[in-house]
Chain A
Amino acid sequence: MRSLFQQFRTQLQWAALIALIYLFIIGMRAAHIIGSYEMGSIVMAGILIILAVSLNLVNGFTGQFSIGHAGFMGVGAYLGAICTTKLGLPFVVALLLGATMAGLVGLIIGLPSLRLRGDYLAIVTLGFGEILRVIFLNWDYVGGPRGLMGIPQYTNFTWVYVLAVLTIIIIRNWVNSAHGRACIAIREDETAASAMGVNTTLYKVAAFSIGAFFAGLAGVLFAHYYTVIIPNKFGFLFSVEILIIVVLGGLGSISGSVLATLLLTGLNAFLADWPYPRMIIYSLALIGIMIYRPSGLMGTRELTLPTLQQKRSISEGGQQGGAA
């Protein structure tokens, strides 16, 4: 294992980099090099990063095929919006409650569902995601099909950036812990994992709930940026968009999810004038990637800081992430 000093130095380097990126973007905005439209894309990218990384925890690291993630985002969005618009609660409370509620819903759905495997699990998560959407659609208190309007715009770049960074750090912490290792073992071979003492159902549900929690968090941010939310946004189609990002980046790579989000956001902005050909290009690209490079951009590898390319002794451990 690396010495405490080495670990601390790496963490310092990452902290510096994170702060620099933040200041850079703020600076660009202040100097009007980036306009409000671009800022909107950046904010959306941050929200997508939270969604992608949290989905990656479930699909990539734990190997559980979930395609209902947008439903949890919806739970967070609606509850968060209720907190601020109907109950007049502060933004922080909305964030906490929205995320927690989403996590709880994840727990409730996960418990019965995660006994299923593979295709069946995918379909049941799809089903639950759609049920959530239909609930929002028929719930008049939050506007039914017309959705909920007049949500105060509390979300800004700072909020999204900080929460995205926190999400990445927390999920990375999990992955690098014994509990994270248990999840990855489940992905690799569930039977062997349970034979090694891992309570597989418990961990699958845990990963699922944690993923749902962060999806809910993203949902609150989303609602308080666009100020309007409609039920159909939180359906199967959006779940698939998030899944595409995760797969593109690499199932089991946090940095992959971040990169893929940035790449797709950039592409979206570039192709914004041609919405239909854009989707056709994406579909073709998706099929092409699945056939020729299914491991995505990063596979299961992570980005490390250049200074870490020193000679590492064999006792430094495996593939997952060299930094912080």
Chain B
Amino acid sequence: MTEFFQQVINGIALGSVYALIALGYTMVYGIARLINFAHGDIYMIGAFLGYFATRVLGFTFLPALLLAMFGCALLGVLVENCAYKPLRRAPRITLLITAIGVSFLLENSMIWAFSPQPRTLPELLTSYQLEVGGLIITAQQFFLLGVSVILMVLLQVLVQRTRAGKAMRAVSMDENAAALMGINVNHIISLTFAIGSALAGAAGLLVGIYYNRIDPLMGIMPGLKAFVAAVLGGIGIIPGAVLGGLIMGVAESLVAGYLSSMYRDAVAFTILVIILLVKPTGILGKKAQEKV
């Protein structure tokens, strides 16, 4: 039984990473109807920024986190401006392919610049472990969960309590109406990309610390899985991303623990396929109607 709860704890830690990345996916989809395939790679860049901050600049945890988040936010806005903005009115397949192109560009640029070899981060957090009734919770897991929760709460406050947040919600519902209300849609879209990318960057750094291993292709799988999480919870719905992320994390943890870690990746795609065939709008999603 403790084995089970241990896996659940691991799963929640993993899930909060997925949730952070999924939030970026879901926010961007809600605002721009775009599946940003490059999002997972922004997470990877966050990890590398963290590496740079800690190994080269000798930063401690919090400054490294801020650098990673800020850097990724900038990158996200840059990508949006150069690659996605010109295609706002283009058909979906064009946007999707462009996003794939950006993803490849980021990955291969990093491989070229840094070689595909994995790197490690220095010890940033204590190796303190908490033991509760046979369950082990590491300091890293605490941090992972703690930082994630703080960020998510901040996001929630931003979206629900600030004017910018209200503007974001308006744009995601009806871009034209929002523009007519005097909202600068371009700024809001850039802001959304910035926030989503910052969260992914934070996730990258946290994972870099947690697993102590980063490489240029580390974003592909978590990116895909986080995307599944976003779809699972209901794409475009912020609480959905968190819910989806947690479910994905726990499911993956349990399968890896009880079946075999070979099937880790299969979990994500099986969930994806099932949810898309059963309820494509996700757990918290509503059915959309096409006007004929």
Contact = CB atoms under 8 A, between A and B. Distances in A.
A287 B112 CA distance: 19
Contacts of A294: 90-91, 94
A287 B277 contact: no
B276 A131 contact: no
Interface string B75-108: 0000000010011001111111110111011001
Interface stretch (B12-20, B176-184, B260-268): B260-268
B237 to A, nearest CB: 15
A284 B272 contact: no
Contacts of A291: 83, 86-87, 98
A128 interface: yes
Given A123-B276, A134-B263, 8 more contacts: A134-B266, A138-B262, A247-B97, A251-B93, A287-B101, A287-B105, A290-B87, A294-B94
A280 B109 contact: yes
18 contacts: A119-B33, A119-B35, A124-B272, A130-B265, A130-B266, A131-B266, A131-B270, A134-B266, A236-B224, A279-B104, A282-B104, A283-B102, A284-B105, A286-B100, A287-B102, A287-B105, A290-B94, A291-B98
Interface stretch (A11-19, A84-92, A110-118): A110-118
**Which 3 pairs show the lowest CB-CB distances between chains A and B?**
A283-B105, A286-B101, A279-B108
A277 B228 CA distance: 31
A122 interface: yes
A280 B98 contact: no
Contacts, number: 107
Nearest to B98: A290
A276 B94 contact: no
Interface of B: 33, 35, 83, 86-87, 90-98, 100-102, 104-105, 108-109, 111-112, 224, 227-228, 231, 262-263, 265-266, 269-270, 272-273, 276-277, 280, 292
B266 A124 contact: no
Nearest to B227: A123
Contacts of B86: 291
A124 B276 contact: yes
A128 B228 CA distance: 13
B260 to A, nearest CB: 8
A244 B280 CA distance: 27
Contacts of B224: 126, 130, 236
Interface of A: 59, 65, 112-113, 116, 118-120, 122-124, 126-128, 130-131, 134, 137-138, 191, 236, 240, 243-244, 247, 251, 276-277, 279-280, 282-284, 286-287, 290-291, 294
Given A113-B277, A291-B86, A123 B101 contact: no
A283 B270 contact: no
B262 A283 contact: no
A251 B96 CA distance: 14
A256 B59 CA distance: 52
A286 B87 contact: no
A287 B272 CA distance: 27
A252 to B, nearest CB: 12
A24 to B, nearest CB: 34
Given A279-B108, A280-B112, A287-B105, A123 B272 contact: yes
B111 A119 contact: no
B134 to A, nearest CB: 32
A243 B97 contact: yes
A112 B275 CA distance: 12
Given A127-B272, A291-B83, A277 B263 contact: no
A250 B167 CA distance: 38
A116 B92 contact: no
A286 B112 contact: no
Q: Which residue among A118, A119, A240, A243 has the maximum number of chain B CB atoms within 10 Å of its CB?
A: A119
A141 B266 CA distance: 19
A191 B292 contact: yes
A134 B269 CA distance: 10
A283 B101 contact: yes
Contacts of A122: 35, 93, 96
Contacts of B98: 286-287, 290-291
B231 to A, nearest CB: 7
Contact of B111 (A116, A128, A276): A276
B117 to A, nearest CB: 13
A290 B100 CA distance: 11
B263 A124 contact: no
Contacts of A119: 33, 35, 92, 96
